[in-house]
Amino acid sequence: MYKVIKHFIDLHDNDHSYNEGDIFPREGVDVSKERIEELAGSNNKQHTPLIELVEEDPDNTAGTDTAEKTSKAGKKKAESKMPENKELAEQEERMIEDLMVLLGLPEEIDEELENKLLLILKATKQRLRFLLGGLEPPEEMNYIILDVSIIRFNRIGSEGLSSHSVEGETLSWSENDFAGYMDDIRAYLDDQKESKKGKVRFL
């Protein structure tokens, strides 16, 4: 049995959200050995262990009920101890809603399409983070994430696109998607450099 030690969204399980203290995998879900090793090690999107092995209690006769109670307790604990993750999840939800509006989609969409939008947003944000030298994209750059996500959504299935993978899911996109925003990206990086210089000067 494995316990979640850091919040993550499992893209292999319909974007199920796991919080600290939850039992992994959840009831009714089969997970491969390779997936377990990926999440227990650093070869995953967050580059850090997300689950750990825990010894099962042989005297535990509660079975599934106990697991469910542990999962719910872990979720409440995570919500109180990890406001950053909750805030991040809320931000992603708002961005999905904004993306749906910009794409002209109805308020109610099927789970498959919602998962696809989430994957596009995550991959776009990850690519922007790379262009920023590993810095977390600030909220004022959300317009770049949304704009490029729209481009990617409209180009799914087109030819001549490169491949990008997030948590095992593959997404095709063009290297030129960010071309129109490179001036803004460079300007932000320059501001960060100047800010660091200013901090050093007054130490």
Q: How much is the pLDDT for 68? A: 54
Q: Are 8 and 46 in contact (CB under 8 A)?
A: yes
Q: What is the pLDDT of residue 198?
A: 61
- Sort residue 133 into left (φ over 0), alpha (ψ -120 to 50) or beta: left
pLDDT at 114 over 70: yes
Token pair of 88 as six digits: 């991040």
Residue type, 112: E
Residue 82 is predicted with a pLDDT of 41
| SS3 label, residue 5 | coil
Residue ranges of E strands in 37-168: 51-53, 162-166
Residue 63 predicted with pLDDT over 70: no
Q: Which residues contact 198 (CB under 8 A, 6 or more apart)?
A: none
pTM of structure:
0.50
Q: What are phi and psi of 173, to 5 degrees?
A: -165, 165
**Mean pLDDT within 123-136:** 91
